[in-house]
Amino acid sequence: MTTVSTTSTGVNLMKFAMTPETTTNKYARHFVNDKEQFKASNCFGTWVTANIYAVYSYGFHFPMYVWDANEQQWFGNSLKYSRTTSKQQSQLRPDVDNIKEFTTGQLKQLVSSGSLVEYVIQLARSDNSVTLTLNEEN
């Protein structure tokens, strides 16, 4: 099945899908860029919460990319898991220049926190050595 959709910038994208939510890894990047739920070969993308969209390889244990809608920011996994997962990371990488790199554990905590802000708050609460500095304007 072939579907055509328009991005927020007005660009038409062709999505080649075997069913509405199943596609190949080669074409899955279109789903990632549009933050749409999909399933491909041993990877998938889904909205975990109303604010967090995540792309996983071989299950929830390895998030490759996470989108925080509140921050309008992509986060990517800086670690390598296997040759196959590295290929998936390349195929499914969002088409943006600024992806903040986190470890697998950090990405999992970000997802479970529900937002970058909540993740940072939890880090600050759990680590007494974290100091938050507020800049005051005079």
134 belongs to a structural domain? no
Which domain does 105 fall in, by range? Answer: 2-126
Backbone angles phi, psi at 62, to 5 degrees: -135, 90
Task: Give domain status of residue 131, yes or no.
Answer: no
Residue 16 lies in a domain: yes
Domain assignment present for 19: yes
Classify residue 107: in a domain, yes or no. Answer: yes
The pLDDT tens digits for 117-131 are 999 998 888 865 555
Do the domain assignments include residue 136?
Answer: no
**What is the per-residue pLDDT across 60-113, written as a single tens digit (0 to 9) for each?**
999 999 999 999 999 999 977 777 777 888 888 999 999 999 999 999 999 999
Per the domain annotation, does 115 fall within a domain? yes
Residue matched to tokens 């898991």: 81
Closest CA to 52 of 118, 126, 124, 8: 118
Total tally of structural domains belonging to the chain: 1
pTM over 0.95: no
